[in-house]
Copies of this chain bind each other. A is one copy, B any other.
Amino acid sequence: MQIPWQDRPAGSKAPMWRYSENPIIPRDLLPDSNSIFNSAVVPFGDAFAGVFRCDDQNRRMTLHAGFSKDGIHWDINPETIKFDCDDAEIGEWVYGYDPRVTFIDGRYYVTWCNGYHGPTIGVAWTTDFKTFHQVENAFLPCNRNGVLFPKKINGRFAMLSRPSDNGHTAFGDIFYSESPELQFWGRHRHVMAPAPFELSAWQCLKIGAGPVPIETPEGWLLFYHGVLRSCNGYVYAFGSAILDLDEPWKVKYRSGRYLISPREIYECAGDVPNVCFPCAALHDETKGKVAVYYGCADTVTGLAFGYIDEIIQFTKETDIQNV
């Protein structure tokens, strides 16, 4: 299995760079889709699988499973995922979006923004990306951007999330929570707040975890999005942070600079202009490469590449945590 990759463009010194063939998933890959973005992919067997946010032409938000040999060309099921759930009230579908997929101890866990009297964190697991078993919502509404760590911490499931309101939330800190069994959650700890405007403006309104954190000797490497509010609305960019391995609510380093901010026309124009929103990352441990999947303008899906070592270095060099 080989992750998608393209070398750094000649002359560039940027810590991450875009795939030249972006967007890799067009808005109308499905015949009825309005847009496909903010989607979650993982290695699966000797290929890749994923859970995709596909808004249909009612502009309803739905989740679909998909498969790919190379991580670039995808077959997405036209049918939405149907989650099995023992509890009818929890299993009733209202809406779901912005999924993440985490592999832990033989199961692929899906977390997503799930409609239950407001947005909260839906949780389900699968072993085959065909049957999905939905369990209890992790939190009370309103919450978004729930991301599981890829292994238990302190013997418990561990999740990052961002408490929200029920609209276009104008605030947002990242918190950490634990659960013994994915039913009851607690031990809530604050991780990080938006940055001061004078220090790092691209992340001064709200922030949220992106892909599943990547374990490195330096700590958990977290890609996270940040939002700046201009007079013409929100701008979503993303940067990186290093969290303590054992106490992941402790931030060791946090990039003052963004890694990717809207610049290409497919990021600047679309259903929501000026959005780069990462939801998944594939990494090649042996070669130290990482490929980040990110939603572009809430319309299509793009890829960006980098070396983990360099990104860690970048995070330290531009650090705003220890200033």
Contact = CB atoms under 8 A, between A and B. Distances in A.
A183 B270 CA distance: 44
- Copies of this chain, complex-wide, total 6
A202 B233 contact: no
A184 B190 contact: no
A60 B198 contact: yes
A306 B69 CA distance: 38
A201 to B, nearest CB: 4
A58 B201 contact: yes
A256 interface: yes
A187 B183 contact: yes
Interface in A1-45: 13, 27, 31-32, 34
B235 A271 contact: yes
B189 A178 contact: no
Contact of A273 (B57, B178, B232): B232
Interface string A165-190: 11010010101011110011111111
A233 B233 contact: yes
Contacts of A269: 265, 268-269, 273
A14 to B, nearest CB: 9
A94 interface: yes
A315 interface: no
A117 B193 contact: yes
Given A188-B140, A273-B269, A257 B163 contact: no
A142 to B, nearest CB: 6
A94 B199 CA distance: 9
6 contacts: A117-B175, A138-B186, A142-B163, A183-B187, A233-B233, A273-B273
Interface of A: 13, 27, 31-32, 34, 55-61, 89, 94-95, 115-118, 120, 136-143, 161, 163, 165-166, 168, 171, 173, 175, 177-180, 183-190, 193, 197-202, 228-235, 237, 256-258, 261-263, 265, 268-274, 298, 318, 320
